[in-house]
Structure 1
């Protein structure tokens, strides 16, 4: 935050706010994605080396099936069944594997998701203040949340992409920490620093940057309307939650074709990397192939699941982030007032 009034929060308090939101979002969203993957593997069994996406509500992570068949492993966990639906899957997993299985795979992904979220929200606040945005989408301010959101997401993607490559390599090849440095060095020697560490960057940017721009434009717009009508000039947690859900849902719909391309591209890259092939289909060629093979509707597949996953995640993240920001602002103001009283 750029320094101004005494109500500003410190950098550490802002990090705590975004960390808390990230952890809470992951804890609440991860079980649903674990169940989704189990249900999908029931219809189409995962084979050894097959890549798939796992989401903890904050980031998509490329994972690899470590065994094959109906009793294959997902993230070193068995895939029992059959499941009759989401609720039945949750009950069976809890009964046979324990409650912790609903959060299997979460700890290692949080190692990247939490720092990425801190970078993202901190950069957004910085760029928003740098552009001079205050608290309303006036005639001249509408572009500022768009540019701040797009810039912040771009930096976050660049920061986390090399770590995601390392994490995927460790998980797919079952490397320990002492082996990963050697593997990364070999990969860089074979393909070059930029090509190796940022492979798959283009489709990620194509989805995440527009999503962030649409999301913050929608959220800040609804927030400004609420603040104009609010006597306290503050949003409640419920209002923040609803604004986050609506703006996240709309952004998810608008960027759905980019999400489809990113998913196909990321899985293709992961499977080719595991097989040792250097050939990677370009993003543009993948779009053409999808269109020729399945038609225009292929680019809009999975609309409902994406909105159902993204909207609550955005709502939980932004409402918890705003709650703790307001908490620290109030606390800082009270401490400042106490200091003033002591001076007198």
Structure 2
């Protein structure tokens, strides 16, 4: 990836992440409160649905930028290796495999920023008075003695376990739908609004399938102390039953479906504008 491509991915990702979090933050709050122990109303109900917005906005741009820079770069770099080592594989299989690997690396990169932000955001969403800044200060005090790193990156493994299946479902579907739509209409690249529709459908499918992992991630982040994920999963099942693993599936699917339309629609729009401007400058020079 050259410097122009890096900048395009960086700015497109930043715009996509920030716009999505700003628009859909209240739905995310409702989802978090539905999944939290004690239930929806015990954790704030419909009040203060923008509580925790600060931490989300601060991390939106760098998190999304890290994802798309890594994703776009790895798509370019991995494809020749897959073609070399899988000479008999179909082109669609190679493309899907590359997209799954590239999106996985992108998600791991983005989670370096996203996980601390999620911890602060979700604790603020379920607290009746604290702001994002107050929540962060409480975490940095290390009152539970587990260390700042473990407090800020609580739920790291669960988030990765959720995000990798999610992105391995979402992005191959998204790229496949874009490719087929472009072929059907005889163009090389779909319009941003078409990319938004593809992103919405892909996000809805991935969100519904990975809701149980999202519930585990939310509970782990809200826990005062660290707990092994399998132990937590067993405790939740014994105390609350299997149905709790699909708590918040409605808001989560709706939020990510609509959010996918905005996230990938804004990405496609900004990416197209910046690419067009770069190509125009190259022709003028």
Q: 1:15 aligns with which of 6, 10, 22?
A: 10
TM-score (norm 2): 0.78
| Structure 1 range deviating more: 281-290 or 105-114 | 105-114
CA distance in structure 2 between the aligned counterparts of 1:193 and 1:326, rounded to whole angstroms? 41
The alignment status of 1:155 with 2:109, answered yes or no, reads yes
1:223-262 alignment, distance < 5 Å:
223-262=178-217
Q: Which residue of 2 aligns with 1:80?
A: none
Higher helix share: 2
Structure 1 residues 10 and 30: alpha-carbon distance in aligned structure 2, compared to 1, 3 A threshold: same
| Structure 1 range deviating more: 103-112 or 138-147 | 103-112
Q: Which residue of 2 aligns with 1:56?
A: none
1:185-196 alignment, distance < 5 Å:
187=142, 190-192=145-147, 194-196=149-151
Structure 1 residues 157 and 34: alpha-carbon distance in aligned structure 2, compared to 1, 3 A threshold: closer
CA distance in structure 1 between the aligned counterparts of 2:57 and 2:267, rounded to whole angstroms? 17
Determine helix, strand or coil for the equivalent of 2:182. helix
Q: 2:67 aligns with which of 120, 128, 134?
A: 120
Residue pair 1:169, 1:175 contacting (<8 A) in 2 also: no
Q: Which residue of 2 aligns with 1:55?
A: none
Q: Rg: which structure is higher?
A: 1
Q: 1:139 aligns with which of 93, 99, 104?
A: 93
Q: Which residue of 2 aligns with 1:87?
A: none
Q: Which residue of 2 aligns with 1:304?
A: 250
Answer 1 or 2: higher relative contact order, Cα 8 Å, separation at least 6: 2
Structure 1 residues 245 and 202: alpha-carbon distance in aligned structure 2, compared to 1, 3 A threshold: same
CA distance in structure 1 between the aligned counterparts of 2:121 and 2:29, rounded to whole angstroms? 18
Residue pair 1:252, 1:307 contacting (<8 A) in 2 also: yes
Structure 1 residues 327 and 223: alpha-carbon distance in aligned structure 2, compared to 1, 3 A threshold: same
- The CA RMSD measured in Å over matched residues stands at 3.8
Residue pair 1:9, 1:328 contacting (<8 A) in 2 also: no
Q: Which runs of 5+ in 2 are unaligned?
A: 83-89
> How many equivalent pairs are there?
273
TM-score (norm 1): 0.66
Residue pair 2:207, 2:252 contacting (<8 A) in 1 also: yes
Q: Which runs of 5+ in 1 are unaligned?
A: 51-64, 78-101, 273-277, 340-344
